Amino acid sequence: MASIRLLQRKLDGAIIFREPASDPIPAYAILSHTWGNEEVTLQDMEADADRSKTTSKAGWAKVQFCADQAAADGLQYFWVDTCCIDKKNAVELGAAINSMFQWYQNAARCYVYLPDVSKSEGASGGRAWEEAFRTSRWFTRGWTLQELIAPRMVDFFSAEGHRLGDKSSLAGEIQEVTDILGRALRGDALSSFSIRERRAWAERRTTTVEEDEVYCLLGIFDVSMAVIYGERRDRAFRRLEEEIHKLYKGIHFEQYAVGFSLSSFPEAAQFVAREEELSKMHELLHGHSSRAAVVLHGLGGIGKTQLAVEYVRRHKEKHTAIFWLNANDEDSLRLSYRGIAQQVLQCHPSTSVLSSVDLSIRLEHYR
């Protein structure tokens, strides 16, 4: 684990970086938020920076909020990802990404700042903020998953800085929104959740940079790997899977994997993303744990095949196997099923359910 660069709120309210020292890391609070415009950077916090410029940035409010809340909880040190990592230093950034889960885990308290949830002090509406809480952007982002899971104590705050509750008192709501079991929120070891379960937690979350969809999961799977921006999501996922495989030999979901290639499918020269349909499909197929089917129908040439291909391209790493069937007529469908049996047996020769299938048999015999 890389050493953490903390901010310190002095008694007079001034905020400075903690002197790098060899003594043990003091107790600290940690901020969890979603990135917005005008975030405060490490350079903005340096001693020679123009502080009036720094404090006039939109992102300053949450830094100040974190400092004040930490002080209220008796903590003079705190950490905010926007300004406590030197993002211009690729080595430092890589080390930070590989350490961040532990940094959240080791924090005395974690404050979740939700600018899209408003709660006025003493409002008569009771818990009117709950609806906004459920639909907060915070639940849709990749990085916030580990920020919810890793720390022991997670407190949620409204845009005004009013406390909404903690991950224990809001467990019911959080579970509803995230599908994360209560025992994971209570701090049960991540190793007691299958890889598949943990992957499901991240499924509907997104990140601004595509590779981050993978890098934000390193701590969740307890692996580390080099951070290579530009490698693309798919390659990063492959590397993540390799790391997971090394760690969880034998119980890895890859043991059910059947290779699938998209190379034989024609790709539209200028694919127009159909985000609405794609996310609807994803919601229908992944929003739950039961079996599901989505049927794409419409006139010939309307783009059904391309839509399916794009869906597979985006989500193939979330599946152990993907099969393509030709259902133009009965014969092609039968041939497709035979092809699937062949593929499964090729990858998993010991699959007992298919061992009685005679693949050399001619098509007519299936009728």
Ligand X SMILES: Nc1ncnc2c1ncn2[C@@H]1O[C@H](COP(=O)(O)OP(=O)(O)OP(=O)(O)O)[C@@H](O)[C@H]1O
Q: Which residues contact ligand X by CB under 6 A? A: 268, 270-272, 274, 300-306
Which C-beta is closer to ligand X: that of 11 or that of 269? Answer: 269
Neighbours of 248 (CB within 10 A): 17
Q: Which residue type sits at 93?
A: L
Which C-beta is closer to Mg ion: that of 175 or that of 305? Answer: 305
Which of Mg ion, ligand X, none does residue 122 bind (CB under 5 to 8 Å by kind)? none
DSSP letter string, 57-96: STTHHHHHHHHHHHHHTT--EEE-TTTSS-TT-HHHHHHH
Which C-beta is closer to ligand X: that of 126 or that of 300? Answer: 300
Which C-beta is closer to ligand X: that of 20 or that of 300? Answer: 300
Q: In sequence order, which ranges of 170-232 are alpha helices (DSSP H)? A: 171-178, 182-185, 195-202, 212-215
Secondary element (H or E) of residue 17: strand 15-17
The answer to whether 305 contacts Mg ion (rule: CB under 5 A) is yes
Binding positions for Mg ion, 162-181, rule CB under 5 A: none
* Contact string (CB under 5 A) for Mg ion, positions 262-301, x = contact: ----------------------------------------
Contacts of 65 (CB under 8 A, 6+ apart): 31, 111, 113, 157, 161
Q: Which one, of 87, 137, 104, lies nearest residue 219 by Cα?
A: 104
Backbone angles phi, psi at 9, to 5 degrees: -100, 115
The distance of closest approach from Cβ of residue 201 to ligand X in the complex, given in angstroms and rounded to an integer, is 30
The distance of closest approach from Cβ of residue 329 to ligand X in the complex, given in angstroms and rounded to an integer, is 13
Which C-beta is closer to ligand X: that of 143 or that of 311? Answer: 311
The distance of closest approach from Cβ of residue 268 to ligand X in the complex, given in angstroms and rounded to an integer, is 3
The distance of closest approach from Cβ of residue 307 to ligand X in the complex, given in angstroms and rounded to an integer, is 6
Which of Mg ion, ligand X, none does residue 272 bind (CB under 5 to 8 Å by kind)? ligand X
Bridge pairing between strands 28-32 and 77-79: parallel
The answer to whether 336 contacts Mg ion (rule: CB under 5 A) is no
Which C-beta is closer to Mg ion: that of 245 or that of 304? Answer: 304
